[in-house]
Amino acid sequence: MKKIFFNTAICCLLLTGMVVAQKVKNSHVPAAAVKALMQKYPAAAKINWEKEHGNYEANWGGKSGEDMSVMFTPAGAFVEQVEAIAVSALPAGIATYVKANYKGAKITEAGKVTNAKGTVMYEAEVKGKDLIFNEKGGFLKVD
């Protein structure tokens, strides 16, 4: 019984690790994604790459090295960019939603998300989860 429980726990941990973003060495990022990044953001420097949902995310800038992040497909197609913003810059509805649904929790990070179609959304990190909101501050999903 202990062996079954242990093996199940190990499998769950391994699967969870596959879903979360994984750091990737620069040499393992497809050339098309690197080229697309440098064409769209030529000033990007000290870039750290992660693989997330099959795509490649470049992070750079600021004290944390993540003031700007941009995601590309392996073929180099732009998916989205996330620009770090002050929590106070989020639409008012977001703070109201967090206060009502995450009692006592604080928004620790915030970002303005713009996807390939030009749609603007907002991201608020609460208790280690990214909450996604529309441009007016309406809740959309947990990412």
What does the pLDDT look like over 44-94, one tens digit per residue?
A: 999 999 999 999 999 999 776 679 999 999 999 999 999 999 999 999 899
User: CA-CA distance, 108 to 125, in Å (whole number)?
Assistant: 6
- The third-level CATH classification (topology) of the domain covering 23-142 is Nuclear Transport Factor 2; Chain: A, (3.10.450)
The pLDDT value recorded for residue 20 is 57
Tokens 């639409």 identify what position?
91
Percent of the chain with pLDDT over 70: 84
Between CA 10 and CA 3 the distance in angstroms is 11
Nearest to 60 by CA among 76, 42, 79: 42
pLDDT exceeds 70 at position 102: yes
- Evaluate if residue 1 carries a pLDDT over 90: no
3 contacts: CB under 8 Å, gap ≥ 6: none
Sign of the alpha-carbon torsion through 97, 17, 46, 56 = negative
32-53 pLDDT tens trace: 999 999 999 999 999 999 999 9
pLDDT greater than 50 at residue 28? yes
Strand partners, 71: 57, 80
**Average per-residue pLDDT in the chain?**
87
Q: What is the pLDDT of residue 62?
A: 76
Q: In the chain, what are the domain boundaries? A: 23-142
Higher pLDDT among residues 20 and 51, named by residue: 51
pLDDT band at residue 10, thresholds of 50, 70 and 90?
very low
Q: Which residues of 47-70 are buried (b: 16+ CB within 10 A; e: fewer)?
A: bebbebeebbbbbbbeeeebebbb
Label residue 21 by pLDDT band (50, 70, 90).
confident
